[in-house]
Amino acid sequence: MNVHSPSPGKVWLVGAGPGDPDLLTLRAARLVMNAVLIVHDGLVDPAVLALARPTARLISVAKQRSRHTMQQDEINALLVREALAGRDVVRLKGGDPFIFGRGGEEAEACRAAGVPVEVVPGISAAIGAAAAAQMPLTHRNHASVVSFVAGQCKGLSAQDWTGLAGKGRTLVIYMGLATSEAIADKLIADGLAPEIPVAVIENATRPQMRVLRTSLAGLPALVAARKIKSPAVIVIGEAAGEPELNTLRELALEAAQ
């Protein structure tokens, strides 16, 4: 007797945005609300997951520094396995799937296995954090170039960041809290002024959001003294030192602590 395998399901790589569920795209919200199976990162806000139907199956593949619920190859295999079993999978990622989200690797794994895959973009952590902090990453008077880099990756010390920050430029660093001292030393050694403005935006778009400012030289001390935790992005450049745009918000945030 011939047993026919089910037609493969579809994998949707969905950007969950920076945190606030109101910042989901309409397409992302519909997919989450209708999903049967959601595979999600640890940084996806619980308020976003709360949009899922009660019967939805939720699988966390949370990652933290040096500790993973699943390795990336295992995540890829999970998505392929579920789809080949005929199930549609919503792969929910913080920010945007293709900006430091390893969405490219997951899409490649799906295509290699013959699994249909579609990408639903999301507001990236950098864009969402800057907007929530009213901190323009580009400004006619300050910056016409923006660069995004990962502060926690293989071969950090060997990477060439020369020219990514400085006059007329804004540098946004993802996943840089644990390596903030190495990042500051690296940029200063590359010629960046120790006094250049730096802002750390923690829990962007969430009720507990904090915007903390210092200089590049003071970045490691700020991270330690204020006990800053992920999710957070680090903004370096004149855009990070725009006090007239942030004073009222920062005062309110400090008063609430």
The dihedrals phi and psi of 225, each to the nearest 5 degrees, come to -70, -35
Among this protein's residues, is 63 annotated catalytic?
yes
Cα distance between residue 79 and residue 123, in whole Å: 23
From the centroid of its chain, how far is CA 228? 16
* Sheet strand arrangement including 168-174: 143-150, 168-174, 232-236, 197-202, 210-215
Write the DSSP assignment of 41-94 as a string of letters.
-TTS-HHHHTTS-TT-EEEE--EETTEESS-HHHHHHHHHHHHHTT--EEEEES
Q: Report residue 88 as tokens.
A: 């549609």
Orientation of helix 72-84 relative to helix 103-112, angle to 10°: 40
Region of 109 please: left (phi>0), alpha (psi -120 to 50) or beta.
Answer: alpha
Among this protein's residues, is 41 annotated catalytic?
yes
Residue 257 identity (one-letter amino acid): Q
Q: Report residue 200 as tokens.
A: 């750390």
Q: Choose, from 20, 41, 45, 96, the residue flagged as catalytic.
A: 41
Q: Choose, from 45, 63, 93, 96, the residue flagged as catalytic.
A: 63
Radius of gyration of the chain (CA): 20
Catalytic residues: 41, 63
